[in-house]
């Protein structure tokens, strides 16, 4: 039987021969094993960019994490907790189970020392992740997002590439920090800001602290933001700057999603990423319904009932396909 330990051995190169082929075959055939493989692979790639930590601190952190875990509690988001020993020590919270550093630390450090390829962290729907970058900056990645960054930054710029949504706490320094997206680049020296750059949503950058400069790719326009401001980019490339309550756009880090007069079609996009589900809006006429509220610990069906209070809807759920269909009553 193939499990998490076998996946770790496969990714870290501690398995060979027939057993390796067997694990690969099982991962290809089993949907849950494919998800586990993706999560472990992301975390393993991420761990290669982390700096060292004393073993005693690793052990203390591990004990603290164990004490916080409740064996019966369901965890709906997966967070990557990373500490390193020889640049490769790892913890991952998988629901009620913990994957600890003892499976990773056996890999020799010289296998990672020569790794200069970019690191990519991909966060599946229904999960979030926290990333420590090589310069000490901290990033929260939202569901359905990915971040690419080098093992170490050069002396001219700190450049990362984002698809999806992330909140950045950038460590101050003389070298510019640049977040590259398909819509344009966000340039800072040290600040806290949110970037939303999903393919199916309007681009937004929201500034919490400091100063950022956004350069749009469509029209090569530049705009500088002050705290509490947000820049949005329309489909035609036109930029708009407005004053906002930043918490509305950053609270997702703590598991809270806020909607304020938001069209149902936009709400559905966020629900799909948050709950890792496919939602079909059968009746397109209800897509323009505006919804105001927030979700934190509510289930998907509790959220649907809130929507139902705004506009009567009908919905059906296919458990096998994890697919929800919504239409007007």
pLDDT at 291: 85
Of the pLDDT bands very low, low, confident and very high (cuts 50, 70, 90), residue 8 is confident
What is the tens place of the pLDDT at every residue in 106-148?
A: 333 333 333 456 888 888 888 888 888 889 899 999 999 999 9
What is the tens place of the pLDDT at every residue in 239-280?
A: 999 999 999 999 998 888 888 888 988 999 999 988 888 999
Strands, E, within 171-211: which ranges? Answer: 177-180, 184-188, 192-197, 203-209
CA distance 197 to 218: 14
Q: Go through the domains of the chain in sequence order and give each one's CATH number.
A: 4-248 (2.60.120.1440), 256-328 (3.55.50.30)
Of residues 318 and 37, more confidence is placed in 318
Of the pLDDT bands very low, low, confident and very high (cuts 50, 70, 90), residue 13 is low
CA Rg, the chain, in Å? 21
Q: Looking at residues 71-81, what average pLDDT do you find?
A: 31
pLDDT at 114: 37
Q: Looking at residues 197-221, what average pLDDT do you find?
A: 92
Q: Are 123 and 148 in contact (CB under 8 A)?
A: no
pLDDT at 197: 95
Cβ-count burial 275-302 (b if 16+ within 10 Å, e if not): bbbebebeeeebeebebebebeeeebee
Query: Which of 18-32, 155-169, 180-194 has the lowest average pLDDT?
Result: 18-32
pLDDT at 140: 93
pLDDT at 116: 52
pLDDT at position 177 over 50: yes
pLDDT at position 61 over 70: no
Task: Give kind and range of the element (H or E) at residue 121.
Answer: strand 119-123
Distance of CA 328 to the CA centre of its chain: 32
Q: Are 249 and 193 in contact (CB under 8 A)?
A: no
pLDDT at 314: 86
* HSE of 217, CA atoms in CB hemisphere, 13 A: 11
Of residues 192 and 2, more confidence is placed in 192
pLDDT at 51: 40
Q: Which of 162, 178, 182, 85 is nearest to 121 (CA)?
A: 162
CA distance 179 to 162: 7
- Find the angle CA(33)-CA(273)-CA(314) to the nearest 5 degrees: 110
What is the tens place of the pLDDT at every residue in 272-289?
A: 988 888 999 888 888 888
């Amino acid at each position: 039987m193939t499990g998490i330990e076998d996946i770790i051995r496969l990714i870290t190169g501690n398995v060979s021969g027939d057993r390796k082929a067997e694990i690969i075959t099982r991962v290809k055939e089993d949907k849950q094993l494919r998800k586990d493989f993706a999560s472990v692979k992301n975390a393993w790639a991420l761990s290669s960019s982390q700096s060292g930590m004393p073993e005693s601190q690793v052990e203390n952190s591990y004990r603290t994490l164990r004490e916080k875990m409740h064996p019966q509690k369901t965890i709906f988001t997966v967070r990557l907790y990373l500490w390193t020993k020889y640049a490769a020590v790892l913890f991952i919270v998988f629901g009620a189970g913990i994957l600890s550093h003892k499976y990773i630390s056996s890999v020799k450090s010289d296998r990672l020392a020569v790794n200069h390829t970019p690191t990519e962290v991909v966060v599946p729907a229904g999960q979030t992740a926290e990333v420590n970058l090589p310069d000490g900056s901290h990033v929260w990645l939202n569901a359905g997002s990915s971040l690419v960054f080098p093992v170490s930054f050069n002396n001219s710029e700190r450049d990362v590439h984002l698809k999806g949504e992330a909140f950045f706490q950038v460590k101050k320094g003389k070298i510019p920090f640049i977040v590259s997206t398909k819509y344009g680049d966000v340039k800072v020296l040290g600040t806290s800001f949110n970037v939303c750059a999903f393919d199916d949503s309007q681009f937004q950058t929201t500034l919490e602290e400091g100063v950022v400069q956004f350069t749009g790719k469509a029209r090569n326009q530049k705009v500088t933001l002050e705290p509490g401001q947000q820049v949005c980019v329309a489909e035609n490339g036109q930029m708009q700057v407005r004053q906002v309550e930043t918490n509305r756009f950053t609270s997702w880090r703590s598991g809270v999603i806020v909607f304020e007069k938001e069209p149902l079609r936009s709400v559905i996009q966020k629900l799909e990423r948050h709950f890792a589900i496919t939602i079909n809006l059968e009746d397109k006429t209800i897509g323009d319904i505006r919804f105001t509220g927030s979700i934190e610990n509510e289930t998907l069906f509790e959220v649907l009932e809130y929507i139902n209070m705004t506009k009567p809807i009908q919905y059906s759920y296919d458990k096998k396909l994890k697919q929800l269909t919504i239409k007007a009553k």
